[in-house]
Structure 1
Amino acid sequence: MKDLFNILSSLEKDEHIHLGRLLVLIYVFSGEKNKGEIEGLTKLAKLDFLLRYPTYLERALNKQHKKMFKSPPKDYEKTSVEAKMVRFRYGPWDFRYRRFINTLVGMGQLYLRKEGRSYFLGITEEGIQTANQLAQSSELTDIFERSRTIKTNFDFTGTNLMRFIYSTFPEIVSLQYGKEII
């Protein structure tokens, strides 16, 4: 069991896991054909929260009287957290998001555009090709299926998604700023 814990802990430090997960999430939200964008890092963080924590995704679906038929949380996911987020002013947050996004933009996988005071994230043709390659990996099936579930059920504005998360998971609101979400 100690080996499993060490493996899961090391995953948190592997930036490639986070880059791949975010690329898949943005790929799915872009309509998988580069037709859409995610408006703002706050919205991205809330969507990623649901993806990183499948037990929270399952609870969110239950609140909407829906079931998580595809890729429900595995037993080990219910008792371990391999990707920690912390309570931030606007909810669940990973302080590395800006670095992850800049890395993906620098790699030519994503683009970032500013309109007024808002930032929009979208996927490039190269990002689509990478995501299609990732889709061939059976290890990422759950990430793709959960991303599609999130797109179908929680494609709200950033503000409405934040309100939904706070009302569905009041325990997050009561955490101190900077406290890890487990």
Structure 2
Amino acid sequence: MKDLFTILSSLEKDEHIHLGRLLILTYVFSGDKYIGEIEGLTKLAKLDFLLRYPTYLERALLHNKKKMLKAPPKEYEKTSVESKMVRFRYGPWDFRYRRFINTLVGMGLLYLRKAGRSYYLGITELGIKTTENLGLSEDLKDIFERSKLIKSNFDYSGTNLMKFIYKTFPEIGSLQYGKEIL
């Protein structure tokens, strides 16, 4: 039988997990009328960092004197290496974001809009329906709850979110560029 490390490591290679997580995150950030957008890949990466690493989300909430009452990290998530990101110039990053976004846009679930030098990521009608169907899954309940926590507590600009992450998690800033964040 495979050990937990092998199973969790194989999950990292399953793009569907990442696509679903980014779809849910964008859905939540679209708001009640589904017109909200995430401005920039930097902001998306930082929001996704908090979502992928629930122990960091918990620490970020504690830093802001809040508790993670809904969907706290499970015991296995505290030591899991399922979600690898690397230290990049502007903070935690996954080099596959462009591919993930292009895939979601190509599937008609998200749209990407350029205005000036910025890109805005939003959800389509098909994306809304798909995400609502995902919401029926008990397995994704924590992703939805954590996305809501992130939206209500960390909906900062990309630059301010980056500064918050480096201030709150100084160990990330001390990593060499390209080094995995565990």
TM-score range with shorter-chain normalisation? Answer: over 0.9
TM-aligned CA deviation for residue 81 of structure 1: 2.0
Identity of aligned residues (%): 80
C-alpha contact 1:33 1:128 (8 A) present in aligned 2: no
Unaligned runs of 5+ in 2: none
Unaligned runs of 5+ in 1: none
The ranges of structure 1 where at least 4 consecutive aligned residues each deviate by more than 6 angstroms after the TM superposition are: none
After superposition, the C-alpha distances for 1:121-162 in whole angstroms (9 at most, x for unaligned) are 000000000000000000000000000000000000000000
Which residue type is aligned with residue 47 of structure 2?
Answer: L
C-alpha contact 2:5 2:81 (8 A) present in aligned 1: no
Which residue type is aligned with residue 126 of structure 2?
Answer: E
Pairwise mapping of residues 18-33 of structure 1 onto structure 2 (< 5 A)?
18-33=18-33
1:116 aligns with 2:116: yes
Which residue type is aligned with residue 117 of structure 1?
Answer: R
Q: How many residues align?
A: 182
Structure 2 match to 1:52: 52
After superposition, the C-alpha distances for 1:24-52 in whole angstroms (9 at most, x for unaligned) are 00000001531200000000000000000
Structure 1 match to 2:165: 165
After superposition, the C-alpha distances for 1:1-39 in whole angstroms (9 at most, x for unaligned) are 952111101100000000000000000000153120000
Which residue type is aligned with residue 154 of structure 1?
Answer: F
Q: Matches of 1:97 and 1:126 in 2, distance apart?
A: 21
Q: What is the RMSD of the two structures over their aligned residues, measured on CA atoms?
A: 0.9
- TM-score w.r.t. length of structure 2: 0.98
After superposition, the C-alpha distances for 1:66-103 in whole angstroms (9 at most, x for unaligned) are 00000000111001121100000000000000000000
- TM-score w.r.t. length of structure 1: 0.98
